[in-house]
Amino acid sequence: VCSMGNSTSRLYSVLAKTLSSGTVSQHQDCLEQLDSARLDPLDPKDLLEECQIVLQKRPPRFQRNFVNLLKNTASNHRPIRVMQWNILAQALGEGKDNFVQCPMEALKWEERKCLILEEILAYRPDILCLQEVDHYFDTFEPLLSRLGYQCTFFPKPWSPCLDVERNNGPDGCAMFFLKERFELINSNNIRLTAMKLKTNQVAIAQTLKCHETGRLFCIAVTHLKARTGWERFRSAQGCDLLQNLKNITQGAKIPLIVCGDFNAEPTEEVYREFSNSSLNLNSAYKLLSPDGQSEPPYTTWKIRPSGECRHTLDYIWYSQHALNVNSALGLLTEEQIGPNRLPSFNYPSDHLSLVCDFSFNQDPDRLL
């Protein structure tokens, strides 16, 4: 285990355990070891400092800026910051994804883990939605719970991570929200169906109450089927998710935010289904374009043996009748990403994180 510095010995102890943990069979042992430590809250600044000590031999993290999108911010309430990110499952990054331009050294979990945490800590989301999480029990749950988050994990039934030797268990979707800001009203783990068949893809949908405003809203995270040729399958999964969300939100009476890696370009049917849904959803990152109608040119960029893959696959959808997008985090430029693309020594995943600040519309009775 790398030296984590000696300024915060209790924090070092927890991080050391998360770094050295092994397979899924050890999860219960790890949780028992961390029970007493997790009772003490962590200061995000301390955790960020410890991560930076581990990463001191790596290049500095990329700088990204928020773009203000709402001209008149009349709300007296703090915005709700939502972060969406496919963090790249460790087992897939090392054993299946074949990033031919990424050195294996850049994928070492001991350091890549700290890059992921550094990215999260840099933006301090109120709600964090992740895909491809295969270190939930030994890393993200014990650490983020001590930062004040309530944590939920739903693994894929047949995770491809389990095919990789020395894996850390199945990957899945995870959701985290700050307990000081929200109360959990309802939680649903959804196994998506397609053509009436249960699939390997999942979603989490939680109804939260904002302490400050008293308003209810639903937040969902999902990860749809990957690969070319599965467009109809993704479309069916999207329809199933939308139907579930219609039921949960009582037909859009409860505002909705949906985060996910849809594995679908904006030209696909599943994208049109979300755009045209009766839930009245809009894609937040379209608002960064000059006309507010175009998605970013890419949210993932990698090089595999088959060639360069540059796609827009990740989205944050929101109820445009009930929510405003105050600001959105700008994407990395091609120059920042560099010729070897992602992941890299600078950036831990092949997908970019998306971050938006939302506020409630001041007219809660506004019609759809």
Instruction: List, in order of start, the domains of the chain with CATH numbers.
Output: 78-362 (3.60.10.10)
Q: For the chain (length 368 residues), average pLDDT per consecutive 10?
A: 39 52 44 55 96 95 93 80 98 92 95 98 98 98 98 97 95 98 98 95 98 97 96 98 98 96 98 98 97 96 94 98 97 96 96 98 59
Residue 279: C-alpha distances to residues 216, 254, 259, 274, 298 (Å): 16, 10, 15, 8, 26
**Measured torsion, CA atoms of residues 320, 318, 282, 288, in degrees rounded to the nearest 10:** 100
- Give 176's Cβ-side CA count (13 Å radius): 22
Close Cβ partners of 150 (under 8 Å, ≥ 6 residues apart): 176, 177, 178, 179, 184
What radius of gyration, in Å, describes the C-alpha atoms of the chain? Answer: 20
CA distances from 72 to 69, 285, 323 (A): 9, 19, 14
Q: Which two tokens stand for residue 28?
A: 């219960």
- For residue 31, the model assigns a pLDDT of 47
- Name the pTM for this structure: 0.90
> Which tokens hold the place of 99?
């990033």
Cα–Cα dist 22/26, whole Å: 6
Does residue 343 have a cis bond before it (omega within 30 degrees)? yes
Amino acid making up residue 162: L
d(CA 239, CA 55): 42
Report CA dihedral (33, 147, 359, 348) to the nearest 10 degrees: -80
Neighbours of 123 (CB within 10 A): 16
User: Going by C-beta distance under 8 Å and a sequence separation of 6 or more, which residues neighbour residue 142?
Assistant: 14, 18, 30, 31, 34, 37, 38
- Summarised one tens digit per residue, pLDDT across range 157-203 is 999 999 999 999 999 999 999 999 999 999 999 999 998 999 999 99
The Cα–Cα gap between 106 and 100 comes to: 12
Alpha carbon distance 280, 261 (integer Å): 20
Query: Hey, what amino acid is at 49?
Result: E
Nearest alpha carbon to residue 117 among 104, 135, 100: 135
Dihedral of alpha carbons 264, 309, 113, 30, sign: positive
CB proximity list for 323: less than 8 A, separation 6 or greater: 217, 255, 257, 358, 359, 360, 361
> With contact defined as beta carbons under 8 Å apart, do 210 and 79 qualify?
no
**213-232 burial, b for 16+ CB within 10 Å, e for fewer?**
bebbbbbbbbbbbeeeebbe
